[in-house]
A and B are shown apart, each in its own frame.
Chain A
Amino acid sequence: MTRADRFLLLLVLCAMPFLYYHLWFSDGPANYLIIRSDSNAQVTETLRTNRMLHITGPLGESIVEIYNGRTRFVSSPCTRQVCIHSGWLSNTGGFSACLPNRISLTLVGQHPRFDAINF
């Protein structure tokens, strides 16, 4: 076995798990957004319509943007702004939260594990 053979074999073995996982198990684009807040019930929003959502938490109002099937925190009255810095979410299972303002975003869509979620 030449050095080229070994290199090719290594390349194939490295690529196999990635391709297998990516093509069979990775989460696809999400269909809708579940917003949980401490002050109210959880809300489900479709990702089809671009809009801004105003959600009130114990610290004040957080603004969540839905744009082209993605979502993100645009503003929040927390000090560290971790939620803002987490950026856009677009895939199923994507999650972001403003813990000080007790608001979380979860994306749900093509479930690799489940066909539907009961709650």
Chain B
Amino acid sequence: MTKQLTRLGCLLLVLAASACDQRKDPVFHDQFFAFGTLIEISLYGVEPQLADTLSKDIEKDFMNMHASWHAWQPSVLSSLNEHLSRHEAATVDPILLPLLREVGRLSQRSGGMFNPVIGRLVALWGFHDNPLPVGTLPDSTAIKDLIEQAPTVSDITIGDDLITTINPSVAYDLGGFAKGYAIDHAIDRLQASGIENAIINAGGDLRVIGQHGDRPWRIGIRHPRENGILASIEVSGDTSVFTSGDYERFFEVDDKRYHHIIDPHTGYPANSTTSVTVIHSDAATADAAATALFVAGPDQWLSTARNMGIRYVMLMDKQGTIHMNPAMQSRIHFEPGMDAQITLSTPLQ
């Protein structure tokens, strides 16, 4: 009997300990800083040497894009902005051309809720500064002046090799788009190299392809006001998950929060939303849509999402109420104890 029990005990211990072998992480992880945030690369089941090479290539791409698209440091984009501010026709850098066309298309589809040419407003609020302004607000007259000049993408004409504007107050700031576009570029590079299962996560905004072995990728959505997770989703195939929130970049004056998502219609930070999470296929659209829906707020997010072709949205308003469409509700799993009020919209499809 003792022998049998000893064997049974050993067997059970070996089974438990055999978990050691299973813990070998099949996911290659790498990370680097670009676009002012941490970029994380996760590749499932890729040979380490290839994974490392691809990761380094993606890092170079991100660095180049960051340098080219910087809105307020010397770059291809800031040079373009200078020409536009002087009412001069500018030669379009071939690197920028598809980007500017895409950003213009998305802005128009959003009905101007996402406006990538309000760089002057963003600068006026100090969001081009590091560290952020302390205790000061921009001059309200200066904001009013810029709003009256109403810079929009419609003021810009992009030709084959020249870009012109009828409104010198336009200034590109690709803050609500560049990260998404760069993520799409990185995924294109991975897929061209035969990689089928990966995540590119740029400061919490991400696109996944494939899955984690025999299960979907598991994504946690951080709570916008508390430490910890608000909800989770499982994603596979080709999916981007983007969130815009008022907690990402902000400063406070007299106990009031002023964040970086400026409503292009008022010139002030959009004030009815805390965060918006969007699920979409490509990251560039998801990025622009998250910004647009944040500005649109609880009253206009549904129509804006329809216009932009977005099928999954979750918006938390300033009162903590969560607004979402039924398709999003069916995909998202809230954490236990999450007791926010939920308002379901009509279907988006």
B321: interface (CB < 8 Å):
no
Q: Which residues of B contact A117 (CB under 8 A)?
A: 201, 204, 219-222, 229
Find out whether the CB atom of B6 lies under 8 angstroms from the CB atom of A41: no
- State the majority secondary structure of interface residues on A: mixed
In the complex formed, the residue of B with least CB distance to A12 is B9
CB <8 Å contact, A41 and B248 = yes
**Hey, which chain B residues are within 8 Å of A106, CB to CB?**
227
Q: Which of B20-28, B186-194, B291-299, B341-349 contacts A (4 or more CB under 8 A)?
A: B20-28
Chain B residues closer than 8 Å to A53, beta-carbon distance: none
Which of A67-119 touch B at CB < 8 Å?
95, 104, 106, 110-111, 113-119
**Candidates B9, B232, B247; contact of A9 at CB < 8 Å:** B9
A42 close to chain B: CB less than 8 A:
yes
Q: Residue B42 at the A interface, CB < 8 A?
A: yes
Residues of A within 8 A of B8 (CB): 12
How many A residues touch B, CB cutoff 8 Å?
Answer: 37
Q: Is B249 in contact with A41, judged by CB distance below 8 angstroms?
A: yes
Is B245 within 8 A of A119, CB to CB? yes
A36 to B221, CA, bound (A): 16
Cross-chain contact A46 with B212 (CB below 8 angstroms): no
Q: Which residues of B contact A50 (CB under 8 A)?
A: none
Is B27 in contact with A115, judged by CB distance below 8 angstroms? yes
Contact with A along B249-278 (1 / 0, CB 8 A): 111100000000000000000000000010
| Chain A: CB-nearest residue to B22 | A24
**How many Å from the CB of B10 to the closest CB on chain A?**
9
B31 on the interface (CB 8 Å rule)?
Answer: yes
Residue contacts A-B, CB under 8 angstroms, 9 given = A5-B1, A8-B6, A24-B22, A36-B227, A106-B227, A115-B42, A115-B218, A116-B208, A118-B205
Q: Give me the interface of B with A, judged by CB distance under 8 Å.
A: 1-2, 5-6, 8-9, 12-13, 16-17, 19-20, 22-23, 25, 27, 29, 31, 33, 37-38, 40, 42, 131-132, 134, 199, 201, 203-206, 208, 212, 217-222, 224, 227, 229, 232, 241-243, 245, 247-252, 277
Q: Which residues of A contact B (CB under 8 A)?
A: 1-2, 4-5, 8-9, 11-12, 15-16, 19-20, 23-24, 31-32, 36, 38-42, 44-46, 95, 104, 106, 110-111, 113-119
